[in-house]
């Protein structure tokens, strides 16, 4: 069940990436990020208020967010800081890179998550899962080298370094998620995380973007901006649900979640008419094979 939830999360994560790219093209990065996260906060406001006023009703529909201790709030604030840092790097990188290059590099995250999961949580994979993970990661790497054919020199391109940094921070967040989800209610984590991310982003927006807004790319409102928040909330809800299930493995869920590259690639190729699609498409066959083995091995 947790593997299916991970795959469904990947579907929404892929759509989320397309909304991001559409919103960021020729647009100011920081306000796009801020207003998309503000949408997430608005979605969880009824959950927090309703859980306090009508706990039985919200428990019945599976959306009850219990009250938290100060320590638990601090743990969620730390998660928010890690994720917001990753998002800032990722949003700037996505604006300046082709989506069919950005998404596969972002998808190398399972490599870092797997290493951390094996060391920290002592997770063990069966033979079929190992083959699936290795096959998937090999083709993720091949995909990331395709940028050279489009004139993107990875060693000299600062946006590549930004997306690599975002990916590593995202993997750290994934490992930390496994830690806090085993200790804090998943609905409470997602609800309060949505609030704290806005609190962290607002001063960043006010200090770094607003005073210089006339000297940088102009901000243009697009209706895809709130859809970034909506699709991320759904993707994260399914992700936290998968982590909360007994027997779930963060290394496997991370690999499945990053299969969102398939959605991002397909829609990106159709919408943005990007280059070198045949070579990239051949790498997708390998990724599909790896994801299939991972899914079969997790049953």
| Three-state SS letters, the chain | CHHHHHHHHHHHHHHHHHHHHHHHCCCCHHHHHHHHHHHHHHHHHHHHHHHHHCHHHHHHCCCCCCCCCHHHHHHHHHHHHHHHHHHHHHHHHHHHCCHHHHHHHHCCHHHHHHHHHHHHCCCCCCHHHHHHHHHHHHHHHHHHHHHHHHCCCHHHCHHHHHHHHHHHHHHHHHHHHHHHHCCCCHHHHHHHHHHHHHHHHHHHHHHHHHHHHHHCCCCCCCCHHHHHHHHHHHHHHHHHHHHHCCCCCHHHHHHHHHHHHHHHHHHHHHHHCCCCHHHHHHHHHHHHHHHHHHHHHCC
Ranges of the chain with pLDDT below 50: none
Ramachandran sector of residue 297 (left: φ over 0; alpha: ψ -120 to 50; beta: rest): alpha
pLDDT on residue 285: 79
Residue 153: phi, psi to the nearest 5? -85, 110
User: Residue 95 is encoded by which pair of tokens?
Assistant: 């604006």
pLDDT tens for each residue of 66-109:
999 999 999 999 999 999 999 999 999 999 888 878 877 777 77
Are the C-beta atoms of residues 30 and 198 closer than 8 Å to each other? no
Distance, CA of 282 to CA of 144 (rounded, Å): 13
Summary mean pLDDT of the chain: 85
Distance, CA of 212 to CA of 97 (rounded, Å): 23
Are the C-beta atoms of residues 191 and 46 closer than 8 Å to each other? no
Distance, CA of 290 to CA of 133 (rounded, Å): 6
Residues 161, 166, 167, 173: what is their CA dihedral angle, to the nearest 10 degrees? 150
User: Residue 272 is encoded by which pair of tokens?
Assistant: 């943005």
Are the C-beta atoms of residues 158 and 96 closer than 8 Å to each other? no
pLDDT on residue 100: 78
pLDDT on residue 278: 80
pLDDT on residue 226: 96
Q: Quote the crossing angle between the two packed helices 250-257 and 277-297, to the nearest 10°.
A: 150
Q: Where are the domains of the chain?
A: 2-297
């Amino acid at each position: 069940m947790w593997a299916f939830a991970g795959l469904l999360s990947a579907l929404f994560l892929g759509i989320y990436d397309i909304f991001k790219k559409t919103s960021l093209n020729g647009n100011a990065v920081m306000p796009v990020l801020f207003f998309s996260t503000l949408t997430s906060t608005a979605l969880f406001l009824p959950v927090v208020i309703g859980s306090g006023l009508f706990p039985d009703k919200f428990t019945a529909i599976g959306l009850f967010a219990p009250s938290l201790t100060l320590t638990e709030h601090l743990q969620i604030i730390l998660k928010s800081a890690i994720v917001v840092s990753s998002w800032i790097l990722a949003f700037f990188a996505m604006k300046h890179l082709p989506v069919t290059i950005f998404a596969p590099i972002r998808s190398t995250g399972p490599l870092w998550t797997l290493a951390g999961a094996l060391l920290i949580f002592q997770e063990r994979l069966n033979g079929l899962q190992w083959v699936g993970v290795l096959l998937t990661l090999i083709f993720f790497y091949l995909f990331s080298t395709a940028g050279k054919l489009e004139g993107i020199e990875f060693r000299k391109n600062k946006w590549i370094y930004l997306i690599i940094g975002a990916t590593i921070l995202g993997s750290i967040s994934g490992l930390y998620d496994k830690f806090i989800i085993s200790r804090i209610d998943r609905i409470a984590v997602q609800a309060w995380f949505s609030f704290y991310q806005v609190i962290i982003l607002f001063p960043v927006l006010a200090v770094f973007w607003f005073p210089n807004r006339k000297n940088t790319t102009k901000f243009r409102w697009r209706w895809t901006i709130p859809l970034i928040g909506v699709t991320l909330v759904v993707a994260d809800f399914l992700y936290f649900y998968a982590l909360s299930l007994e027997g779930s493995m963060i290394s496997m869920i991370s690999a499945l979640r990053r299969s969102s590259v398939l959605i991002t690639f397909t829609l990106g190729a159709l919408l943005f008419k990007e280059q070198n699609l045949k070579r990239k498409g051949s790498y997708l066959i390998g990724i599909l094979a790896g994801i299939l083995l991972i899914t079969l091995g997790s049953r």
